[in-house]
Amino acid sequence: MAFDDNDSARNWISSPYHRLWLLNQAGSLFDFFEPHSIDPAGGFYFLDDHGQPILRDASGQAPAREIHATTRLVHCFAIARLLGRPGAERFIDHGMDFLWNGHRDSANGGYVWSVGKDGGGDDRKQAYGHAFVLLAASSAKIVGHPDADRLLADVSEVLRARFWRQAEGAVAEEFERDWTPIGGYRGQNANMHLTEACMAAFEATGDNSWLDWAQSIASLIIRRHAGALGWRVAEHFTEDWRLDRDYDGDPVFRPFGYTPGHWLEWTRLLLQLWETGGRRLGWIPDAAKGLFANAIAEGWDRERGGFYYTLDWQHRPRLRRRLFWPLAEGVGAATFLNAIVGGPPYEEWYRRIWDFIANRLIDHEHGGWHAEVMEVGDDTAPFFAGKPDLYHDLQACLMPLLPATGSVTRGLLTEGIRLEHGPARQRAATR
């Protein structure tokens, strides 16, 4: 629904009621994940739709503890600690211990993807997982965890020695446990999450080399490649960073074609990078606006609502599934554009996305967010069992409550949350 100029001037982020609603939503996510997430054997359980631990997967095996789940919960409960939520320290301690004593390979260095309960698991070492170790370590440092410096120093050395490719300005993708390279694949997803983690590490340490890495990755993935595609982010590349249009891998983590949710995620990350880096990279605002415009024009399902998971190379829907995390990233993108660029379209999309989340994703009966929007009579098996984690949705609830000048952890540390919104920030002349 469009609205007139008078309505658009009253933006939701300035409303004390909306701000309280967002804060309550963040609290309800913690309420869902707190009671049963901790696995006494180490790491965290995945939870089903009712918030109970998933003890057996479809094959009857105990699910392995995956590194992105461990690290994201450390990051999220560091946020809880900054919010002043009692009990958060137990989750940070538990996750930090398992990262060091479970995921970390003390013999060869680095961090394995997953740890099984019966000696199994996946011992590959992926850039994606190491990016989240860096994020968790940085967030733990922000809240003063005693093991944060140890973890930060260790993962920093691994990233620099094993993953970073200075000539490419990005990271290699994955290795065997003994650091034998696996194939020649290069992916934007791992590099995108490393961009977020590098900004977090810069905020936590003041080390400008992390900011240099983030800017280098953004220049390669967005300025060079997305720019050549009219501000659309491609996912898959060859070892020498040529676009691989034929690649068709894992349908969840490496699907064929475009993933418009990542266009939205990059919109927010680019504007955060622009602010964090002192607004020096002049190409960023136009890139962010272009990515967002394409995501809503081509990725939004105009009949049912929500964002398509993937598009083909002709920008047509390929996987029409509508997952939770692109909607969360849409909130973040609209929040940053609203604060920095401004204008009715961004306020309208901010409201539209939240309306859809409230009506279709938030589980008002059992808590948490549904991982995927399923229609009545849909016999397609969902991508995820239960409710995977709270990383995307928690940040969507908190970003609008903080200045659009850095990460959630930095904003909570330096500004805190006020239910009465402060004076509007001066917008950049980017319209």
Instruction: Give CA–CA dist 87/92, Å, rounded.
Output: 10
- 354/305 Cα distance (integer angstroms): 11
Whether 364 sits among the annotated catalytic residues: the reply is no
**DSSP E strands, 4-112:** 65-66
Tell me the DSSP string of 313-355: TTS-EEE--EEHHHHHHHHHHHHHHHHHT--HHHHHHHHHHHH
Within 13 Å, how many C-alpha atoms sit on residue 202's CB side? 21
Nearest to 38 by CA among 95, 111, 80, 84: 95
Q: How far is CA 68 from the centre of its chain?
A: 11
Helices and strands per DSSP (H, E), number in the chain: 15, 12
**Catalytic-residue membership of 262:** yes
The CA dihedral of 313, 316, 319, 321, to the nearest 10 degrees, is 140
Q: How far apart are CA 31 and CA 28, in angstroms?
A: 5
Catalytic residue among 68, 225, 262, 370: 262
Phi, psi angles (nearest 5°) of residue 99: -60, -40
Q: Which one from 130, 193, 370, 392 is the annotated catalytic residue?
A: 392
Q: Which residues are catalytic?
A: 262, 392
